[in-house]
Amino acid sequence: MIKVPMIKVYVPRDSTALSVGANRTANAIQQEAQKRGIEIELIRNGSRGLFWLEPFVEVATESGRVAFAPVQPNDVAGLFDAYFLNPDSSTAKAHPLYLGLTEELEWLKKQQRLTFARIGITDPVSIEDYLAHDGYKGLANALKLTPAEIVKIVTDSGLRGRGGAAFPTGIKWNTVLGAGEKGVQKYIVCNADEGDSGTYSDRMVMEDDPFVLIEGMTIAGIAVGANQGYIYLRSEYPHALHILNEAISKAEAAGYLGDNICGSNHTFKLEVRRAAGAYVCGEETSLLESLEGKRGLVRFKPPLPAIEGLFGKPTVVNNVISLATIPIILDKGAQFYADYGMGRSRGTLPIQLAGNIKHGGLVELAFGATLRELLYDFGGGSYTGKPIRAVQVGGPLGAFLPESQFDTPLDYEEFSKIWAVLGHGGIVAFDDTVDMAKMARYAFEFCAIESCGKCTPCRIGSTRGVEVIDKIINGADVEKNTKLVRDLSDTMLNGSLCALGGMTPYPVLSAMNHFAEDFVPKPKSTLKKIIDIVVA
Amino acid sequence: MANALSIETSTTIQSLIAQHKQMAGALMPLLHAIQDTIGYIPEDSYLPISKALALSVAEVHGVVTFYHHFRTHPVGNHILHVCRAESCQAMGSEKLEASIKAKLNIDYHQTTSDGAITLEPIYCLGNCACSPAVMMDDEVYGRMDSQKMADLISEARAS
């Protein structure tokens, strides 16, 4: 054996890293090290979120971690030949995949990572690693406070629901704190049914730093007097399920979950429940129905879930990111968090760059950055190199924005002024090959597939919408049918209980308003092709 | 229990019911457990489930059929989910879908004639920074093209 102190090598285990071969890369590194008689400690960390560079391999040095990326299995032997385990060597530095110190990468340095402070740095299922990186400091502070004091800190931080509705988290908690008789059963429910296309920040938190979510939910439980929590996790995230369950067991074993948390009188138990592929269950009342073992039909409000939620009891329903942001607020204080952001949008937003984008990944920034900065400074333009023609922000119910709106700052109110939404912070870019009439049609189609069926405008309107858009695409009575789509959209906007029916008109009408040229009948030959694709 | 289920399957279902029936909101975890174990949720399991959870058979049927994830019939050895959502569309998933359907010679919700692969649509795998994406069983694959897809399908058929 060559005498080298155990060198730490990091290869992410995040789903997206795995989707581009991180396991194969990790195996190749392990085998090559063995072959050469070099002992290494291979750590499967979370992803830093520079997804275009996955598999993103790092080697620990005294001055920090040095990155080599993207590393495919057939790069591994060459990296060993270049002595990459000693990244300060001239051969390592000369290697084409050498990126230098991770922390110095412009893409990361320009970010303000608060909720994502640990993500990509730690081993997700190591509670020791979590504790070594400021983990459970928020809970330690919370245990010294009264419930009302905790709620006040959350309110003062200005944190608003990151699932998309942007309702002030502290106000919701305060309602649950004051709800019901003393000693009544209350619940904390984490909405982890991240169904919006273009979003993956919840998944990253759960796979890459699960303890921060567990800590946030524990603090929520103590704040409102709930002793039971549920994470309602979408079935499309099998890796997150395993990692969360492993982290929960470790937190229980270490006294951070269960009875007498950290020696206090507080009890908080946590369980992961799997969803089953219904987009509408991301809506909080539909989610609660599903947790109760029913069809995910949307409930009327009032009563609010904060008063009558899960099993009819007062319930906090918060998104993953909202809950995962609680620990840093309790650790650093309300003012620290509120100092970030603009207007009434305080703090940071984990933005997810997706779709046709060169540098896709996770960018956490204070509110106020513009779409253009995100798309070009961070995103590097489109993946295909063609002009970005449209972006959809906030998932399948978000508006499509044209280039003329790319200077809009990311802020809840600024987006609402241009009849758009920030939603869960997903940005999907489309290049100039996109057909916006087809995207409008898809918005109706998606609504038809996912409607829970309770409200007629959503259940029937979505199917009629597909038919009418088809007529427009076919060039049949375009003027009359365009008016019909607008009337139908108006009915859906005003006559649906939840955002599925109520917001499907956002992508439809924004496509019509900003990209009207795509709704003009095309020459027969190309038209036939489009219809074939759409129908296929 | 109806006669259509084998004794072995009936016993499995009964034991899963026994393991889950005390849980709060037991139906969803129970249905997942049945599908994870047997591969699908046999309609003949509705009656014993409904009895154990004090529901009507119609309510159990209603829940099973509400959720896209649950299925009431056996599937192939592998399930291939192809993402149809916007981010993947922006990266050419429609072409990918067409090539997969042509390669497997089936449409969505169908199984190849050799019983190897069942094809299902899915709406977002959370892999949107590396679109287009598919999921084979529990593994997600990003930046897919028709060549990588062909390799993945061959691997699945061989295993």
A465-475: per-residue pLDDT in tens? Answer: 999 999 999 99
pLDDT at residue A2 in the model: 53
Q: Do residue A319 and residue A226 come from a single domain?
A: yes
Q: Do residue A371 and residue A237 come from a single domain?
A: no
Q: Do residue A180 and residue A314 come from a single domain?
A: yes
What is the rounded CA–CA span in Å between residue B9 and residue B15? 10
pLDDT tens digits, A100-155? 999 999 999 999 999 999 999 999 999 999 999 999 999 999 999 999 999 999 99
Q: Which of B63, B89, B123 is closest, CB to CB, to A293? A: B63
pLDDT tens digits, B87-100? 999 999 999 999 99
Which of A56, A76, A109 represents a domain boundary (last residue)? A109
Residue of B nearest to A289 (CA): B25
- How far lies A383's CA from each of A49, A50, A284, A325, A377, in Å? 17, 14, 35, 31, 14
Segment B108-134 shows an average pLDDT of: 97
pLDDT at residue A529 in the model: 57
CATH of the domain at A261: 3.40.50.11540
Q: Do residue A309 and residue A227 come from a single domain?
A: yes
* A39 assigned to some structural domain: yes
Q: Any residues with CB less than 8 A from the CB of A198 and at least 6 apart, and which?
A: A352, A354, A355, A392, A395, A426, A427, A428, B85, B86, B87, B124, B128
DSSP assignment of A124-150 equals TT-HHHHHHTTTTHHHHHHTTS-HHHH
End-to-end Cα separation, chain A, in angstroms: 60
- Percentage of residues in chain A having pLDDT higher than 70: 96
pLDDT at residue A446 in the model: 97
**Which pTM value belongs to this model?**
0.96
Tokens describing residue A6? 């155990």
C-beta atoms of A197 and B128 within 8 A: yes
Segment A401-422 shows an average pLDDT of: 97
- How far lies A374's CA from each of A194, A198, A357, A359, in Å? 21, 14, 10, 10
Q: Looking at beta carbons, which residues of chain B come within 8 Å of A276?
A: 28, 31-32, 67-70
Model confidence band, residue B5 (pLDDT cutoffs 50, 70, 90): confident
What is the rounded CA–CA span in Å between residue A531 and residue B4? 44
Q: Which of B63, B81, B143 is closest, CB to CB, to A20? A: B143
pLDDT tens digits, A39-87? 999 999 999 999 999 999 999 999 999 999 999 999 999 999 999 999 9
pLDDT tens digits, B34-78? 999 999 999 999 999 999 999 999 999 999 999 999 999 999 999
Which of A431, A459, A480 represents a domain boundary (last residue)? A431
Q: How deeply is A533 buried, as exposed, middle or buried, from its count of CB atoms within 10 A (0-12, 13-18, 19+)?
A: middle
Q: Does B106 lie at the interface with A, CB-CB under 8 angstroms?
A: no
pLDDT tens digits, A191-203? 999 999 999 999 9
* A47 assigned to some structural domain: yes
pLDDT at residue A5 is higher than 90:
no
Q: Do residue A333 and residue A360 come from a single domain?
A: no
User: Which domain covers residue A16, as residue numbers?
Assistant: 7-109
Q: Which of B97, B123, B129 is closest, CB to CB, to A279? A: B123
Q: Do residue A242 and residue A313 come from a single domain?
A: yes
C-beta atoms of B126 and A434 within 8 A: no
Q: Do residue A62 and residue A199 come from a single domain?
A: no
C-beta atoms of A293 and B129 within 8 A: no
Q: Do residue A397 and residue A510 come from a single domain?
A: no
Q: Best of B87, B109, B135 to disrupt the A interface by mutation (most A CBs within 10 Å)?
A: B87
Q: Do residue A321 and residue A379 come from a single domain?
A: no
* A119 assigned to some structural domain: no
pLDDT at residue B2 is higher than 50:
no
Note which residues in 275-314 of chain A have CB less than 8 A from chain B: 275-279, 290-296, 311
pLDDT tens digits, A321-350? 999 999 999 999 999 999 999 999 999 999
Which of A408, A431, A454 represents a domain boundary (last residue)? A431
* A140 assigned to some structural domain: yes
Q: Looking at beta carbons, which residues of chain A come within 8 Å of B28?
A: 273-276, 290-291, 293
pLDDT tens digits, A493-536? 999 999 999 999 999 999 999 999 999 876 655 656 555 555 54
Q: How many distinct structural domains can be found in chain A? A: 4
* A116 assigned to some structural domain: no
Q: Do residue A213 and residue A322 come from a single domain?
A: yes
Q: Best of B46, B101, B128 to disrupt the A interface by mutation (most A CBs within 10 Å)?
A: B128
- Output A511 or B1, whichever has higher pLDDT: A511
pLDDT at residue A531 in the model: 54
Note which residues in 25-54 of chain A have CB less than 8 A from chain B: 51-52, 54
* A121 assigned to some structural domain: no
pLDDT tens digits, A153-192? 999 999 999 999 999 999 999 999 999 999 999 999 999 9
* A1 assigned to some structural domain: no
Average pLDDT of chain B to the nearest whole number: 96
* A368 assigned to some structural domain: yes
Q: Is the peptide bond before A147 cis (omega within 30 degrees of 0)?
A: no
Q: Do residue A355 and residue A500 come from a single domain?
A: no
CATH of the domain at A89: 3.40.30.10
Domains present along chain B, CATH in parentheses: 7-66 (no CATH), 78-158 (3.40.30.10)
CATH of the domain at A421: 3.10.20.600
Q: Do residue A334 and residue A424 come from a single domain?
A: no
Which H helix or E strand runs over A7? strand A7-10
